[in-house]
Structure 1
Amino acid sequence: MSASSLHTLLHRPDVWRANDTAADTCPTVSTGHPALDAELPGGGWPIGDMSEVLTDCCGHGEVSLLLPMLAQASQADGWVAWVAPPWYPNVSALAAAGLCTPRMLVIQAGSAGERVWALRHALNSGACSAVTGWLDRVDTALLRRLQLAVREAALPLVLFRPASDAHMASPAALRLQVSVAAEGEVRVDILKRRGRPANRPVHLGTRPGIPVRRADIQRRRPALALVG
């Protein structure tokens, strides 16, 4: 094959090269972080597919990763569902970040099975514009149920999972590992995305003051919480 013929073949739109990011036809919504969008197929969080954020830096700004997307989702008619957050969200800080807090729904759930049940019902309700949840000790079968539910719902679904689960298989289309890089900054490693593997981390600034401690939850009844 001549060099010109090979060049023509490699530049056909229906040929994927291993060093390219996937030409993802699935819809996405911007993360609100241009440096991260530039590394993600479609330029943002996948819609109708599952994303995972794996981290052990709870309360150090990892929720900032989601704030621009959740703020946009909260301007729609649906609810923004938070399932089993480790701390009750700081409503004032979220409002300052642009979220319409009356559209927030916090669902408390215990076991992995209860959390998956709540996530599936939030997705299937037709009443939510975005869903996020915190999961640990979850098996692949439960994750596949969530994957089926989010595909039918066609919403962004982001799950927070422990960093120790990074070695476990997952049906998620996107997996990000978040760690503290410096004060006011987190490091995002892209463990899984469609297309070629990522070879460099992304560093993002954080917005402090989103959560409050669990002890504060026990001293007052959360006005936006649905206990299940």
Structure 2
Amino acid sequence: MATETGSLHKLLHKGEVWRGRQAAEQLRHRCLSSGFPQLDALLPGQGWQASQLVELLYSDEGSGELGVLLPLLAELSQQERWVLWVDPPHIPYAPALLGAGVNLDRVQVVRSNSRRDRLWCLEQSLKSGCCSAVLGWLPAGQEKAIRRLQVAAVEGDCRGFLFRHSRCQSQHSAAPCRLLLEPHPEGVTVSALKRRGGWPLPPRLIPVSPVVSQTAEPDAGPARLTLVGTST
């Protein structure tokens, strides 16, 4: 018994045995709060993990898919790295982002020329190390691409968020975190369909802010976003 105890002590000292509590503490250290206690309770580590891809699934635009990210985007945009939006369905409404505390100088919106360009831009941005967060909109049938994007997020130490239709929830996905969003009169209900290190969890009501996108951005003076195009 003494020999077995000594061997275990050596393995622990060398870091060759996984310890749940220690892993949970390390995970929490690498997380940023969502700004919503109800949402933090659904997320492993009590917040948005670094180096991770998150799928946000919803049926209709304006279901709170952007509102749940606003506090995080406001925090990340104060850093040196970029917050990149790749092919959003509408131009983000700059005054609303500014009002939520987002530093527009660190935000760029990319318009690609094709689905191939979109995937290329997402992968390169995630792994570049130049972005603190990358937001992308993907259709169904992208399982292999999502696996590559998760690898890229780890390589670039970047938080990635994929916006997809709720019909994709039945498809296999390599994203470590998958959240289903449904509109509610007081905000949005969020269900954790998949989360690293934990079971799926039932819906919780999150009091999100209004949608921050529209079909055309008005003349908002200095509250403007930088739009760029891609070409591979």
Q: TM-score, normalised by structure 1?
A: 0.82
Partners of 2:56 and 2:179 within 8 A in 1: yes
Which residue number in structure 2 is paired with residue 81 of structure 1? 84
- Return 116-125 or 85-94, whichever deviates more: 116-125
Aligned-CA RMSD value: 2.5
Gaps of 5+ in 2: 1-16
Gaps of 5+ in 1: 1-12, 17-21
Counterpart residue identity of residue 179, structure 1: E
Secondary structure of the residue aligned to 2:74 is helix
CA–CA separation in structure 2 for the residues paired with 1:145 and 1:173: 13
Partners of 1:119 and 1:131 within 8 A in 2: yes
Partners of 1:84 and 1:133 within 8 A in 2: yes
CA–CA separation in structure 2 for the residues paired with 1:223 and 1:35: 31
Which residue number in structure 2 is paired with residue 104 of structure 1? 107
CA–CA separation in structure 2 for the residues paired with 1:195 and 1:113: 33
Q: 1:194 to 1:88 in 2, by over 3 A?
A: same
Partners of 1:50 and 1:158 within 8 A in 2: yes
4+ long deviations beyond 3 Å = 13-16, 22-26
Matched, 1:139 2:139: no
Aligned residue pairs total 207
Which residue number in structure 2 is paired with residue 23 of structure 1? 24
CA–CA separation in structure 2 for the residues paired with 1:199 and 1:150: 24
Percent same amino acid among aligned pairs?
36
Q: 1:185 to 1:223 in 2, by over 3 A?
A: closer
Which residue number in structure 1 is paired with residue 228 of structure 2? 226
Matched, 1:56 2:55: no
Matched, 1:165 2:168: yes
Q: CA offset at residue 223 of structure 1?
A: 5.1
CA–CA separation in structure 1 for the residues paired with 2:112 and 2:86: 7
Counterpart residue identity of residue 165, structure 2: P
CA–CA separation in structure 1 for the residues paired with 2:25 and 2:162: 21
Which residue number in structure 2 is paired with residue 211 of structure 1? 213
Counterpart residue identity of residue 226, structure 1: V
Q: CA offset at residue 39 of structure 1?
A: 2.1
CA–CA separation in structure 2 for the residues paired with 1:147 and 1:209: 27
Q: CA offset at residue 151 of structure 1?
A: 0.7
Which residue number in structure 2 is paired with residue 126 of structure 1? 129
Partners of 1:85 and 1:134 within 8 A in 2: yes
CA–CA separation in structure 1 for the residues paired with 2:146 and 2:53: 9
Q: TM-score, normalised by structure 2?
A: 0.81
Partners of 2:127 and 2:154 within 8 A in 1: no
